[in-house]
Amino acid sequence: MRPSCQNTKSPKGQIRFLVYCMENAIMNLPDNQEQMVWLIDFHGFNMSHLSIKVSRETAHVLQEHYPERLGLAILYNPPKIFEPFWKMVKPFLEPKTCNKVKFVYSDDNLSKKILEDIFDMEQLEVAFGGENSDLSFNFEKYAERMREDDLKFYGNTPVSSTSAHFTNSDSEVSDTEMKRLEDIPDEKIKTGTS
* Model confidence at 47: pLDDT above 80: no
Residue bearing the bigger pLDDT, 80 or 173: 80
* Model confidence at 157: pLDDT above 50: yes
74 strand-pairing partners: 39, 102
**CA distances in angstroms from 102 to 54, 63, 110, 142, listed in the order given:** 21, 18, 11, 27
Q: What is the pLDDT of residue 34?
A: 92
* Model confidence at 62: pLDDT above 60: yes
Residue count of the chain, please give it: 194
Q: Which residues contact 15 (CB under 8 A, 6 or more apart)?
A: 54, 57, 58, 61, 178, 181
**Across residues 23-27, what is the average pLDDT?**
87
Can you list the domains of the chain with their CATH numbers? 3-191 (3.40.525.10)
Q: What is the pLDDT of residue 10?
A: 73
Q: How much of the chain exceeds pLDDT 90, in percent?
A: 4
Q: What is the pLDDT of residue 8?
A: 58
Predicted model pTM: 0.64
**Across residues 75-99, what is the average pLDDT?**
82
